[in-house]
Amino acid sequence: MSDTTHTDKTSADSIAVAFDYQYYYFLFKVFSLEDGQSVSLEVKDDVHTELRNNIQLLIQLKHSVQTSASGNSVNLTTLDNDLWHTLYNWCEVITDAQDDRKNTAKQIEFVEKTYFILVSNKSYTEQNKFIEILNNYKIGSITHKKAKNEISKITTENKDIQKYKAKLLSLDDDVSERFFNHMEFDLDNDDLIDKCKIALKSKMIPEESINDLFKKLDSSIREENYTAIKKNQKIIINFDEYYKKYRIYYDQARNTDLQIKTFNIGLPDNLTEQRFIQHLIDINDISEDDIDDIIEFTKYKLQIQNNVSSWLQEAELTKDQLDDFEKEVIAIWRNEFRSKNRGQMTEEEIQVKALSIVDTLRKERLSISSLQLDTQHSNGEFYYLSDNLKIGWRKDWEDKYSG
């Protein structure tokens, strides 16, 4: 029995979700890159974006697994530790003497070129006094002095929040004024994967291609990040690098022609009992002991089946087009079958001719719609038709297997 408590499990889950939340926001910013921009992960902040004209965005990500009684994410409240700890971190960055920002002039220079954004799945509430004060200041309803005074009236017994608030109020007024103007809250941000896909759609990617493109980009960028971390390198992606490496992914996604997809498919338990495998065993193309070949041939069949099912489901292929494809494949098989099976034959000759047919058809490159299939998927289609008793290899295959 595991010694891990429920609290420990919940905490571990929360950390994992928070990490993914941060990563997917980073991915969203990567998908939104424009010329002259770059985005980094955990370099200057959780996510950091460099824009043109030396403008930068420092973005803090805060995710909560807590929900309200209605099932929605909890609110970002006035005394939320995530709020005040974020403000404190930003103040520490602004006044960082190690980064040559000990004096006010340097702090002002830094804040004028920086926007500070808190992104969270927590919900906005009108009861958040700090955000209310900030918004009133931004629209000119209150002065900066009044805003600081109102913030000073926010009271709590929490020693950490007291420290965070004191740090915020200790900023020079000229620095604080600019900081308030450049502070933003992006709340109720829950489904970042959907946000990523919307960003891809904005690049004129057809809707039916978005999911596949997202999976490819997500997988590749995750792998790159992992490699960078192992090498102790910073994770920074700029537009030019991204364009050079990933443009081909976007071009392929915009191509309305059929695209081959790779599926993770479980193999059937009864591999050797599949009809098409039995047919190949019967003509001595393989034996029951050729497990590697049997697995390989089964994968070919399942991959073409799943691609065809996906194309039909996504309306990338019509039933009429599929019927035409199968008719053409059967016609190719029939021509080869007829050419090899003229006249009377002995059993030995039937076996030899059957093997010849298989060998010949394995070299065929089939086409469906405007897509030319590779050898594996072409072979898979022949295996699929054999498995469904639409074609065979022996001269007497219909009589032999019809029962």
Tally of residues, the chain: 403
Rg over alpha carbons for the chain, rounded to the nearest Å, is 31
Region 343-360: mean pLDDT is 94
Three-state SS string across 87-144, please? HHHHHHHHCCHHHCCCCHHHHHHHHHCEEEEEEECCECCCCCHHHHHHHHHHCCCCCH
Q: Answer with the residue of higher pLDDT: 13 or 243.
A: 243
Q: What percent of the chain has pLDDT over 90?
A: 80
Which band of pLDDT confidence, cut at 50, 70 and 90, is reported for residue 403? low
303 with 263: CB under 8 angstroms? yes
Letter for the amino acid at 214? Answer: F
The CA distance from 115 to 183, in Å, is 6
- What is the pLDDT at residue 1? 40
Q: d(Cα 183, Cα 173) in Å, to the nearest integer? A: 15
Percent of the chain beyond pLDDT 70?
A: 97
- Give the pLDDT confidence score for residue 15 in this predicted structure: 81
Question: What is the per-residue pLDDT across 201-226, written as a single tens digit (0 to 9) for each?
Answer: 999 998 888 998 999 999 999 999 99
Q: Which residue has the tokens 């941060």?
A: 22
Summarised one tens digit per residue, pLDDT across range 29-50 is 999 999 999 999 988 878 999 9
Mean pLDDT of 248-268: 86
Q: Which residue type sits at 324?
A: D
Q: In whole angstroms, what separates CA 343 from the centre of its chain?
A: 58
Residue 356 has pLDDT above 90, yes or no: yes
pLDDT of residue 12: 61
Dist. CA 384–CA 403, nearest whole Å: 19
The three-class DSSP label of residue 199 is: helix
Going by pLDDT thresholds of 50, 70 and 90, the confidence category of residue 7 is very low
